Structure 1
Amino acid sequence: MKFRPCIDLHSGKVKQIVGSTLTTTKDEAATTNFETNRPAGDFAKMYQRDALTGGHVIMLPSKDGQPDANKEAARQVLQAYPQGMQIGGGIRDTNAQEWMDAGASHIIVTSYVFKNGQINMENLKKLVDIVGKEHLVLDLSCRRKPNSTTTTTDDYYVCTDQWQKFTNVKVNAETLQMLATYCDEFLVHGVDVEGKQCGILEDLVALLGEHSPIPVTYAGGARSMEDMEMVERVGNGKVDLTIGSALDCFGGDLKYEDVVAWHKSRNS
């Protein structure tokens, strides 16, 4: 199991936002846990110094769409740590190669592939043709449907459009097996706990650990070293973990240095 670092950009600044509160119409409605004027590239250099790979930088949308400030900050990240970070946020066929050329190791895609509530296979195949399966990460961030009354692990559905809309794509063994033939990794946010430091979704981690045939990173709710160990245990060592708001470098109480030390102890 690995610790996967992250950098979230909003209006060109490094922030930690509760993703489920983010919309494209009201920036002020978003719950912001952390914000800094520190250059985004500084965080990338820190991750490079600590030999952390497979992290991601996400360009979060604002009411003005994807501002140039976000793009510039993202380019700083990729220049600071070439081939060390994946990039997501508004990625599609027309700009995928641009971000690869800028230094991304992978592109991360959600809404361009999951459109109108279903998988758009034509768009997915376009991206594979452009950047190659080995450079594509599919974001399967998901939540339970409100009318779900069962407690099985088959109730999670991929969400799009700032996690406000459900698709008909269920996160289960069949979906993971099929999509794995088109991408290199999965990124999965547990939407209902993301940014809330309230603990991980154990059943989702267990599902990913049991059924994902390719590397998968879980994000959402992690707040302690105990949560890291739980992800390692419940995910059978196959699920990597992203931690955001809980880290002291993002205003939280969990020491970044302790997390890096734990990571190195598992991946020496």
Structure 2
Amino acid sequence: MTRFRPCIDLHDGKVKQIVGGTLSDSGPGPKENFVSDQSPASFAEKFRADALTGGHVIKLGPGNDEAARNALGAWPGGLQIGGGIHASNAKEWLDAGASHVIVTSALFDANGKFLPQVLEDLVQTIGAERLVIDLSCRKVGEGWVVAMNRWQTLTDLTISAETLDSLAPHCAEFLIHAADVEGLCRGIDADLVALLGNWGKIPMTYAGGAASLQDVEAVQQAGNGKVDVTVGSALDLFGGTGVRYDELVAWNQRDF
């Protein structure tokens, strides 16, 4: 059954919620929905107290290593880490307390071409059981294309049963942000969730657009109970008004 998984998104060393499609290397910077004055560790401690396992810390660009270590140190083994992870630093982040490392951009060259050998090197370095492959994507035509480099660059991988089948033996989980709806609080991409749920062979977490508890329920329905969900900007914990944190804690504690 679908579970709520927490997130700690880091930008410029602070816990933030931003509109995913506004991340770029140039221009005025991303649109921010929320900037916390609390430490990353305080959020990790709260998630730990409420037994919200399987959450993730995402470093959105440079300047976030100290903040990430702050969160991981508050709950060793309780959170995954993503953002700038590759074969040469993956073990370092596991040693810092991450349960898994989350990898996207390192699996592609600068033009977005998938590099199978890089994935194999990661598996050889840390083991598939400690690796989460991030397949965060953007809508292109009638389908979805994996996007890297803070969702700025489209790759040559599409979200399909064939892609999921080929990658699943090399990782423990998938993480999929629907970048076009991330941070907008206008509802989930139900078609993408349905594609993931119909495949449903290993654990997966979907993020993007959840604005209410009804959207969380919609992930469960569309994903056949096989896709977990993250709620960000709509959550009262992050300054939102659509979903109460205690509702989601109770959701995870319901009888299955």
Are 1:83 and 2:71 an aligned pair? no
Show the counterpart of 1:247.
235
Aligned residue for 1:112, secondary structure, equals helix
- 1:122-179 deviations in whole A, cap 9, x for unaligned? 110111111110000000001122xx2x4xxxx1110111211111211000000110
Deviating more after overlay: 118-127 vs 238-247: 118-127
CA distance, structure 2, for counterparts of residue 19 and residue 266 of structure 1: 33
State the alpha-carbon separation in 2 of the partners of residues 203 and 120 from structure 1.
28
Residue 17 of structure 1: aligned partner: 18
1:113-192 paired onto structure 2 within 5 Å: 113-115=107-109, 116-145=111-140, 148=141, 150=142, 155-192=143-180
Query: Equivalents in 1 of 2:148, 2:13: separation in Å?
Result: 22
Task: Name structure 2 gaps, 5 residues minimum.
Answer: none
Q: Deviations over 1:35-59 (max 9, x none)?
A: 0120110000000000011000011
1:266 is displaced (CA, Å) by 4.7
Displacement of 1:233 in angstroms is 0.8
- One of 234, 245, 251 as aligned partner of 1:256: 245
SS at match of 1:144: strand
Secondary structure, in 3 states, of the residue corresponding to 2:248?
helix
**Matched position secondary structure for 1:237:** coil
The aligned residue for residue 45 of structure 1 is: 45
2:107 corresponds to 1:98: no
1:185-220: CA deviations, max 9, x gaps? Answer: 000001110000000000000000011311000000
How far apart, in 2, do the equivalents of 1:175 and 1:118 lie? 14
Query: Structure 1: which 5+ residue stretches go unaligned?
Result: none
8 A Cα contact 1:57 1:87, kept in partner: yes
Q: Is the 8 A contact 1:173 1:212 kept in 2?
A: no
Q: 1:245 to 1:266 in 2, by over 3 A?
A: farther
For each residue in 1:15-39, what CA deviation from the matched residue of structure 2 results, as whole angstroms up to 9, or x when unmatched?
Answer: 111121111234x331000001201
Residue 105 of structure 2: SS of its match in structure 1?
coil
**What is the TM-score of this pair, normalised by structure 1?**
0.92
TM-score, L = length of structure 2: 0.96
Letter in 1 for 2:150: Q
Shift of 1:76: 1.0
For 2:60, the aligned partner's letter is L
Identity over aligned residues, as a percent?
Answer: 53
Amino acid at match of 2:104: T
Q: Contact (CA 8 Å) 1:176, 1:212: kept in 2 or not?
A: no
Give aligned pairs, total.
Answer: 253
Tell me what 2:5 maps to. 4
Matched, 1:55 2:44: no
The answer to whether the 8 A contact 2:20-2:180 is kept is no
Q: Supply the AA of the counterpart residue of 1:98.
A: E
Contact 1:16-1:32 within 8 A present in 2 as well: yes
Report the 3-state secondary structure (helix = DSSP H, G, I; strand = E; otherwise coil) of the residue aligned with 1:194. Answer: coil
